[in-house]
């Protein structure tokens, strides 16, 4: 299977450093081996580093030792980062993810990070978001290319299946570690992965291909939708923010979508449904001389928090990071 597209090649060729997020599990082992094969073929292996995160739990040192030994066998640069996870309401996984993202942001400028997400991960993500409640952007799933600080993430295996990954590793007698916490179905994503998705696959065999098509279609639809909203934002912007008078000319739903995208473009937290209802009530249904202030942040802290104010008939945004 071709996993490096033409548009990926420029990212790889122009990157100063290439990191593969490497836990030692099946997916990241496959990603590391395949990327080494490709970089060998274009004589860029010297750019490659396997980046491991040690979370400091019972299995962490064993996993790190395995990863270090595997990289020594393949003559791949190996780097391990210790993570001290501090949970403050968002849950361990979300807190650990935030720590990892901060490390990725701190990597040398012009780094490209390769991650091993595959089509089964895409199914899991789309289903999880639908169950929690999502919109067009959420249904578009895991993006193939994403920014993290000044660096970029590339996920070249999103059309590969877990079955094929395991088959490749077995055929080539490549060892990997297994995190037994992934079998704990008290976690929602594990429940989907272990209990729900296998039943869906038994009934609908083409689910991987169909979800892949769905994410591609909704991604294009969302880009079209956002172009329309960006035109609205440009019409409504002044030097400080968005004009209240202009926003009031829109219906409530369009107004909420404009505000969400405006905040998203500013790389700050975006309001959930209940927070948006409060924004609507406070800024657009209250008396004109009111000066409301609404403050919110993401529970996983992957974006800085935001404070919305009305100043001189303009909706103004201020960042905060507590």
Q: Which residues are annotated as a binding site for ATP?
A: 23-28
From the annotation, which residues make up the binding site? Answer: 23-28
Tokens 């490549």 correspond to what residue? 174
Task: Tell me how crowded residue 110 is: count the other CB atoms within 10 A of its CB.
Answer: 12
From the list 287, 270, 277, the residue with the least C-alpha distance to 252 is: 277
From the list 91, 79, 35, the residue with the least C-alpha distance to 53 is: 79
Question: In sequence order, what E strands does 89-204 have?
Answer: 111-114, 145-148, 151-154
The b-or-e profile of 233-259 (16+ CB within 10 A means b, else e) is beebeeeebbbbebbeebeeeebbbbb
From the list 127, 132, 115, the residue with the least C-alpha distance to 208 is: 127
From the list 150, 156, 69, 139, the residue with the least C-alpha distance to 111 is: 150
Q: Output the furthest CA–CA distance in the chain (Å, rounded).
A: 71
d(CA 247, CA 217): 30
What pairing do the DSSP bridges indicate for beta strands 145-148 and 151-154?
A: antiparallel
Phi, psi of 316, deg, nearest 5: -115, 140
d(CA 256, CA 196): 34
């Amino acid at each position: 299977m071709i996993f490096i597209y033409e548009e990926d090649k420029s990212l790889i060729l122009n990157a100063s450093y290439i990191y593969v997020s490497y836990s030692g599990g099946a997916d990241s082992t496959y990603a590391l081996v395949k990327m080494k094969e490709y970089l060998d073929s274009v004589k860029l292996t010297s750019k490659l580093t396997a980046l491991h995160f040690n979370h400091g739990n019972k299995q962490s040192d064993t996993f790190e030792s395995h990863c270090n030994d595997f990289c020594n066998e393949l003559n791949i640069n190996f780097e391990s980062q210790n993570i001290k996870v501090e949970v403050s309401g968002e849950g361990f996984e979300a807190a650990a993810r935030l720590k990892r993202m901060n490390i990725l942001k701190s990597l040398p400028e012009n780094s490209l990070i390769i991650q091993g997400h595959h089509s089964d991960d895409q199914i899991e993500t789309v289903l999880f978001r639908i169950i929690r409640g999502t919109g067009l952007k959420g249904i578009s799933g895991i993006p193939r290319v994403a920014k993290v600080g000044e660096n970029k993430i590339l996920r070249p295996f999103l059309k590969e299946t877990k079955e094929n990954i395991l088959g490749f590793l077995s055929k080539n007698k490549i060892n990997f570690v297994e995190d037994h916490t992934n079998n704990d179905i008290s976690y929602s994503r594990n429940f989907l992965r272990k209990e729900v998705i296998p039943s869906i696959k038994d009934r609908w065999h083409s689910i991987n291909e169909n979800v892949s098509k769905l994410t591609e279609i909704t991604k294009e639809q969302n880009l079209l939708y956002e172009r329309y909203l960006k035109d609205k934002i440009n019409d409504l912007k002044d030097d400080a923010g968005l004009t209240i008078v202009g926003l009031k000319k829109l219906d409530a739903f369009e107004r909420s979508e404009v505000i969400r995208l405006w905040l998203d473009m500013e790389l700050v937290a975006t309001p959930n449904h209940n927070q948006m209802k409060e924004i609507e009530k406070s800024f657009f249904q209250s008396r004109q001389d009111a000066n409301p202030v609404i403050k919110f942040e993401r529970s996983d802290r992957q974006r800085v928090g935001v404070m919305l104010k009305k100043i001189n008939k303009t909706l103004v945004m201020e960042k905060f990071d507590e």
